[in-house]
Amino acid sequence: MDESLTGKPPFKPLGLPHRITSSNSATNLHGTDEPDDHERDGRVLVLLTGGTMGMKPNARGSLEPKAGYLAEQMRLMPELRERRMPAYEVVEYAPLLDSADMVPQDWRRIAQDVARSHNQFDGFVVIMGTDTMAYCASALSFMLEGLSKPVVLTGSMIPFAESYSDARRNLVMALIFAHAGPSEVVVFFGDRLLRGNRTTKVDALALSAYDSPNFPPLASCGVALRARYDLALAPSSEQRCKAFTQMETKILVFRMVPGFDDKALLRCLESDELRAVVLELYGTGTAPARRAGLLKALRAARSHNVLVVATTQCKRGGVVLATYEVGRLLEEEGVVAAGDMTTEAAATKLAYLFGRYPGDMDAVRELVGVSLRGEISHPDAYLRPFFEAPRFKSSGSIESDPTKRPPAPPPAPTRPAHREPPPRDVGQRRRDIALGAALGVGLALVLARRR
């Protein structure tokens, strides 16, 4: 097991959390005519790990975490004192960290605190920095086994300390969704609620910094709330939420660049310490077939029992190695397709699987392409033949759940076979003609007499 999870770590992880404020503190501060916690509809635990939301400028003008500052701002927010808002309790970690400093041991602390408090609260909010939020959300989705409450990760691009900030809305909406949202790990940012292991940070400066390229938002906030909870995962039926913490961290991510030397990749894949490599390929999973060094590196990975998983460099779509011949060659060398998983989800899923099934490469290889927490779609969701028409639900909306295999299209209607009229009797046909002629002559005589 990696030393980052056992023994004395070479870094400073999140410390033990301690309670710093609650909705009762806000009530006591602003008067007794406001609802007490027992009058509110639910209770939410807020885990404050750090990030921009609770930062303030230091003497040099740079932003840095400020202990107790966010709790102070929450006590002053009138929105949080409304009767419709859930009661909350804020627990602040020490020291507060920039998300770039967070490591798997910090994810473990968060997962353990959620699991330990699972039955005491209706939901959870994790406040952290935005740079590695997608990694943390993906990891927590796998680590929290038996989860049946919402876990909402959020943060902000601008701190509370600024007059213009996205912190207030993100925090308020995160509390609302933690109280009455889907029972899975999600990210609320900007105006959308996204599945945690489907998110990725797409903008370093915009307030809508996060996106879910291959899965629809679970909710969008405008003048009205547009929720798609039909796409959400079902709450776990297990009696107890458990935190799986033995994440394997000996995993690397490589991004393919045209024409670059493969020797560095070969050196890494020859290591006996490495467990897996996430290889970011082009398009649907192509790589240069003429590069002998790449194929040599993949064979070295196989001989050293290193699993190679292929993701795409594209933001949308997924990897289907058999699409092109060059991808099929990679498949023959043991490369496993990650489908439409994000790189963050693929890396943290491998960390979970290698920890859950230590020494069982076949189990890990088999489960990479299986949806465990809604992190991957069936290939039919993004590789549909051109001639296949979209399928519609009875309500008229397009079937958009990429986690489900689309049903087989109904058979095309067949044209009824042409039937010849039954043959008629020849004698009868002659009698009909004679009768018609006689009627015509009789009518002509009648008309002549009238004249």
**What are the residue numbers of the active site?**
52
For residues 99 and 101, give the distance between their C-alpha atoms in angstroms, rounded to a whole number. 5
Of 175, 154, 146, 151, the C-alpha closest to 234 is 146
Q: Residue written as tokens 């939901």?
A: 123
Helix (H) or strand (E) holding 401: none
- DSSP structural state of residue 156: -
Six token digits for residue 393:
């639900």
Of 201, 12, 189, 9, the C-alpha closest to 96 is 12
> Three-state SS for 140?
helix
For residues 155 and 67, give the distance between their C-alpha atoms in angstroms, rounded to a whole number. 16
For residues 36 and 28, give the distance between their C-alpha atoms in angstroms, rounded to a whole number. 9
Q: How buried is residue 443: exposed, middle or buried, by Cβ count under 10 Å (0-12/13-18/19+)?
A: exposed
> Three-state SS for 286?
strand
CA distances (Å), 103 to each of 135, 166, 223, 335, 437, in order?
10, 26, 38, 27, 103
For residues 381 and 340, give the distance between their C-alpha atoms in angstroms, rounded to a whole number. 9
For residues 214 and 222, give the distance between their C-alpha atoms in angstroms, rounded to a whole number. 22
Inter-residue long-range contacts of 254-262, CB under 8 Å, 24+ positions, other chains counted: 254/278, 254/279, 254/280, 255/280, 255/313, 256/280, 256/281, 256/282, 256/287, 256/313, 258/288, 261/293, 262/291, 262/293, 262/294, 262/296, 262/297
> Three-state SS for 66?
coil
* Dihedral, 336, 345, 398, 230 alpha carbons, nearest 10: 130
Six token digits for residue 305:
């029992």
Six token digits for residue 420:
């010849």
Six token digits for residue 59:
């003497």
Rg from Cα positions in the chain: 32
Six token digits for residue 247:
């994440």
Would you say 197 and 374 are in contact if contact means Cβ atoms under 8 Å apart?
A: yes
For residues 191 and 61, give the distance between their C-alpha atoms in angstroms, rounded to a whole number. 29
